[in-house]
Amino acid sequence: MNRRTIGTVALALVACTLTACKTSPNGASAPSVSGPPPSYPEVAERFNERADRLGRIWANATAQFSYLDEQGDRHNEQGEGHLQLIAPDRFALSIGKISEVLFWLGCDADRYWFFQMYEGNRVSIGRHRNIGSPCNRDLGLPANPIDIIDLLGVTPLPVEAPGETSWSTNGKWLVVDAPGRATWRRLFLDPATLLPHRVELYDPTDTSAPIVFSSIELYESVSLEGVGGFFPKAPSRLQIDHEQSGTSIRLFLHNMNDGKTRGRLSDAVFTFESLVEAFGPEEITVLDQRCDSPALTN
């Protein structure tokens, strides 16, 4: 995924949205309903009332992977485990069977990794800044771990940003365009609740089609320890697709909470060295070994 600076090229996507360019199946374009959409600052403020309360998530997870390995062979895997997240950039998704971890996908603020403990024991690692560079090899999954956080629809919208709002052509969704980490985000929101129905991530230099997108089906409350009133909602069912490669991840999440009980969300689950010590991989592949700043050096 290209990690070039957003800058003014990102504004091209906004212009495209406002001039009826169709870059998704939902057709984000000029409004087909009467009345202007709410302003971006208003939407960002309301959206962040929920997102700001979702800085920590722990959940039981069932995942279905369809992905390509380094030889281009397709794998279809399914298992159960946990999703763990600490905003803005720490993420872990562990999947296994019968208490045995088979996959561990994760990242911290600087690096991302994918442990695979079936048919051998190996791990791939790279640095976020090198994603999309010619020197970097692809992870083989539909989305990199840092992007899954955004695709969950729980990342706050930047308030001070050149964001825009519009209506989808079918008049059903409020479309929000805003800068992402190193991408441009497009969210299709329920106008009443501002919960995302779909999240798309774009290369700011190529807005013809999303790099990757998520489709969200069902929301459930995330329990917060020691907090009364209504809990914030997060997706419990979503699918992440990378159409160019035909790879996908489907997630089913339940028992979502803020991970403040029983030692959940410990630093070790987001630390590569701790995971290497725990899993003991026999092979380590440095995806950005040819880059100037690889994730690991000899």
- CA Rg, the chain, in Å? 19
Tokens of 288: 């950005």
Check: CB of residue 145 under 8 Å from CB of residue 105: yes
Check: CB of residue 252 under 8 Å from CB of residue 240: no
Check: CB of residue 205 under 8 Å from CB of residue 9: yes
**Residue at 281: amino acid letter:** P
Do the strands 233-242 and 184-189 form a parallel or antiparallel pair, or are they unpaired? Answer: unpaired
- How high is the pLDDT of residue 125? 98
pLDDT digits (tens, 9 = 90+) for 163-216: 999 999 999 999 999 998 878 999 999 999 999 999 999 988 887 899 999 999
Q: List, in order of start, the domains of the chain with CATH numbers.
A: 36-50+159-257 (2.50.20.10), 56-148+261-286 (no CATH)
Q: Which among 77, 131, 87 is positioned nearest to 109, based on CA atoms? A: 87
pLDDT digits (tens, 9 = 90+) for 219-276: 999 999 988 788 999 999 999 999 888 899 999 999 999 998 766 899 999 999 999 9
Q: Which among 118, 116, 89 is positioned nearest to 105, based on CA atoms? A: 116
pLDDT digits (tens, 9 = 90+) for 101-127: 999 999 999 999 999 998 789 999 999
With 50 as the cut, is the pLDDT of residue 2 above it? no
Average pLDDT along the chain: 87
**pTM for this entry:** 0.85
